[in-house]
Amino acid sequence: MAAGAIALNAERVQASQQLMTEVDARTATQVSYANFQQWLDEFRRYAASQGISEATLSEAFDGLRYRERVIELDSYQPEFVRPIWEYLDTAVSSTRINNGREKLAEHLDTALEMEQRFGVPAEIIVAIWGIESNYGSNFGDFSTLESLATLAYDGRRRDFARGELLAALRIIDKGDIDAEQMKGSWAGAMGHTQFIPSSFEAYAVDGDGDGRRDIWGSIPDVMASTANYLDQAGWQTGQPWGAEVRLPEGFDYAQTERRSSAEWRRQGVQALAGELPDFDSAALVIPAGADGPAFLVGANFRAILRYNNATSYALAVAKLGDAIAGREGIQRGWPREQAPLTRDDVQELQRGLNRAGYAVGGADGVMGPNTRQGVRNFQRDLDLIPDGFATQELLEQLRQRFD
């Protein structure tokens, strides 16, 4: 799969809220196994004790292989932290927009049926489909069972993978899909819109009425399941996801709280087109700092984040949906002249902020909320705009503190 798809699937696994509760984690982590087959035999016995039928276990595990490539991808860390504009260039490309319009036209009756049933706009359902698997052309050809078994035996999050493997067996046992047809990404995300097994159990829906939930071969099931996921995540029917906004001179970029649209309006926040959406609780998203575009986002943006907890992902889905529906794209330009930080740069930044007393936590190379808050505090102390956007220039100023 492409690097973007690898990153998305890694984020999907890392963002999942489903904790492994079925497997005895203490036993699973303390016992050493001579090899993969020994571990698999032990897990097979455990799965049988949890009610998985012998027919399903034979179908799932007879001949199942350890996949070294899965572990390679699980360990993959890109050198560069990809700028959001580069991600959006691909995620919301003209080709993907045109293909999305074609897919919506092709499946319009189904998409509108699911919009009516779940309250999620047809273009958002199609946009999730486009971002997750490029409309089904790239949802992965890894055996979900082989991927999850490999990760449960040898991956970074073994307990999580064990829980997902047991969920996958329950799906097969229920008759939704055959083991051989259960395909997806290296990380265990499945089908057109990349559900992990526990999400499938919680949110997948039979959209075509055949008694099965088939997110691999049935577009009605795909669309119903995706819409149901967003509905259960808190989608507010009739509300937009948000709007691009203009911020006033002297705006306090350090604000991270949610406020009503009326409160943001009193601070001088204005929509670039029309009026601000009427949100009871909205946040400002400024993904590239004060020199890039800004967005006021409400509950529906947060629902998309429940699908994948990355701002770049949620913005891609929102703007691809807008484009498929014929609405305008992002108006303000991105600071493309900024050189991206490498993962090593981010780790150096985190270590430097900790050393300077800004307490951002471990140096993991990920620009999470604690790191962004530390950057804001450092920027404020330098009399810079505290927008939380880390640049090479800011890193150099931090280095100079310790020269």
Judge if 301 and 364 occupy the same domain. no
pLDDT digits (tens, 9 = 90+) for 27-68: 444 467 889 999 999 999 999 999 999 999 999 999 999 999
**Would 316 be classed as within a structural domain?**
yes
Residue 158 counted as domain residue: no
Answer yes or no: do 321 and 249 share one domain.
yes
CB 331 within 8 A of CB 380: no
CATH number at residue 350: 1.10.101
The structure tokens 């429940």 sit at: 306
Q: Assess if residue 351 is contained within a domain.
A: yes
What is the per-residue pLDDT across 18-30, written as a single tens digit (0 to 9) for each?
334 344 443 444 4
What range defines the domain where residue 395 resides?
A: 343-401
- Asked if residue 395 and residue 364 are part of one domain, the reply reads yes
Contacts of 154 (CB under 8 A, 6+ apart): 36, 66, 71
CB contact at 8 A, 325 and 123: yes
Two tokens, residue 130: 């486009």
d(CA 148, CA 75): 15
382 SS3 class: coil
Same domain? 391 vs 352: yes
Q: CA end-to-end span of the chain, whole Å?
A: 43
**101 three-class SS:** helix
Q: Specify if 86 maps to a domain.
A: no
Contact between 130 and 176 (Cβ < 8 Å): no
Query: Tens of pLDDT along 297-308?
Result: 999 999 999 999
Number of structural domains found in the chain: 2
pLDDT digits (tens, 9 = 90+) for 153-192: 999 999 999 999 999 999 999 999 999 999 999 999 999 9
Residues 304 and 273 in one domain: yes
> Which DSSP state fits 121?
-
Retrieve residue 288's tokens.
């590239």
Q: What percent of the chain has pLDDT over 90?
A: 87
Mean pLDDT confidence for 315-337? 97
For the chain, give the number of residues.
403
Q: What is the structure's pLDDT at 18? A: 38
Question: What count of other Cβ atoms lies within 10 Å of the Cβ of residue 328?
Answer: 11
Residue type, 228: N
Residue 155: inside a domain: no
* Alpha carbons 53 and 170: distance in angstroms, whole number: 9
C-alpha span between 166 and 157 (Å, rounded):
15
Residue 271: its pLDDT value, please? 97
| Strands (DSSP E) found in 293-348 | 294-297
Check whether residue 356 and residue 284 sit in a common domain.
no
Q: Would you say 29 and 163 are in contact if contact means Cβ atoms under 8 Å apart?
A: no
pLDDT digits (tens, 9 = 90+) for 74-106: 998 777 778 999 999 999 999 999 999 999 999
- CA–CA gap between residue 26 and residue 337 (Å, rounded): 50
pTM of the predicted structure, to 2 decimals: 0.89
Domain assignment of residue 127, yes or no = no
Strands (E), 66-165: 142-143
Q: Are residues 246 and 315 in the same domain?
A: yes
Give me 309's structure tokens.
Answer: 């907890």
Whole-angstrom Cα distance, residue 142 to residue 367? Answer: 30
213 falls within a domain: no
Backbone angles phi, psi at 225, to 5 degrees: -65, -40
**Three-class DSSP labels, 218-229:** CHHHHHHHHHHH
Average pLDDT, the chain: 92
Tokens at residue 112, please? 């509108």
- Examine the domain organization and report whether 347 and 321 are in the same domain: no
Measured between alpha carbons, how far is 6 from 12 in angstroms, rounded to an integer?
10
* High-pLDDT (> 70) share of the chain, %: 92
Do 347 and 305 belong to one domain?
no
